[in-house]
Amino acid sequence: MTATVTEIWRHPIKSHGREKLDSVTIATGGTIPFDRVWAVAHERSKADGSEWVSCGHFCRVAKLPSLMAVTAQFDEASGQITLRHPHADDLTFQPEKDSEAFIAWAKSLVPDDTLQPTRLVKAQAQAFTDSDFPSVTLCNHASHRAVEQRVGRPLSHLRWRGNIWIDGLAPWEEFDWDDREIRIGETLLRVRERTDRCKSTHSNPETGQRDADVLGALDSWGHQDFSVRAEVLEGGVVKTGDEVTRV
C-alpha cells in the first residue's frame, strides 16, 4: 500500500484552535505557514516573541483541557482569525489590532484558580512549535489506530494536534525515520526527533474534557511518544493525496 497524505492541519494560535487545509506551500527551513505563529502568554510569562521559548510560558491544553475544543479559521488576505468553541460565542478578530477582545474571550474558557491569559504574543523569528527548531509534525494513522485499540474505543486523531497525517504505513513505522529524509509532494524533510506527549492528549477535541488515558496507553509500548518532528530541507507544495516516500 502506498503511503499518502490524508490531512494537513495548522494551529494559528498555539493551543487555541485548529484549521484543516487542502494544500500548503512550505518554505525551506520553515513550518506550515501561520502554524503557531501566535501564542497566549500567561501572567507569569516573560515571553515577548523575540525568541523561541518552551510551552511552559503559554496557556496550553495540558493545563487547560477546555482549549482542545477550539477550532480556528484564518483568513490570510484580511489577517482575521475566527475562533469557535462549544461553550463560547464565536469570535472574529485581527491579532495585530484586537488582541484585547481575544484575551477576554480566552479568559472565559479558563478557570479562575489557574494562571490567566494576559497577552497575545507573535513569534518574530521562529514559530512557537514544541521543538526548539522550525518543525513540521508528521502523524501516522496506523499508530493512532494502535492507540485506539489499547484504549479500547475510538478516539479522535485531532487530539494529537499534528500537521501532516499519513496513511499506508505500518504502526510506528515513522519511528524508523529518525535522521532519515522523507519526500512529501514537492518537499524534502529530515526527521529530527520523536514527539514526546503530555496530558493534552487526554482531552476530547469535541468537548474539551479529559476522557481517555492516552499516556497510559503509550506506556504499554515503553514510551510516551507519538508522531515525529521534521525539518524542511527543500520547500514546496504539499497537498492531500501526495505520496510519501523515504529517500
User: Which fold does the domain 4-30+131-246 belong to in CATH?
Assistant: M1 Pyruvate Kinase; Domain 3 (2.40.33)
**Reported pTM:** 0.97
pLDDT tens sequence across 127-164: 999 999 999 999 999 999 999 999 999 999 999 999 99
* Nearest one of 23, 33, 27 to 233, comparing CA atoms: 27
pLDDT tens sequence across 32-78: 999 999 999 999 999 999 999 999 999 999 999 999 999 999 999 99
pLDDT tens sequence across 170-226: 999 999 999 999 999 999 999 999 999 999 999 999 999 999 999 999 999 999 999
What one-character-per-residue DSSP string does the chain give?
---EEEEEEE-SBTTS--EEESEEEE-TT--STTTT-EEEEETT----SSS---GGGB--TTT-GGGGG-EEEEETTTTEEEEEETTEEEEEE-TTT-HHHHHHHHHTTS-TTSPPEEEEEE-SSS---SSSS--EEEEEHHHHHHHHHHHTS---GGGG--SEEEESSPTTGGGGGTT-EEEETTEEEEEEEEEE--GGGGB-TTT-SB---HHHHHHTTT--EEEEEEEEEE-EEEETT-BEEE-
What's the distance, Cα to Cα, between the start and end of the chain in Å?
17
How many other CB atoms sit within 10 Å of the CB of residue 102?
22
How many other CB atoms sit within 10 Å of the CB of residue 114?
11
Does 124 score more than 80 pLDDT? yes
Spans of all domains in the chain = 4-30+131-246, 38-122
Is the CA virtual torsion 103, 158, 220, 176 positive or negative? Answer: negative
Judge contact between 159 and 205, C-beta under 8 A. yes
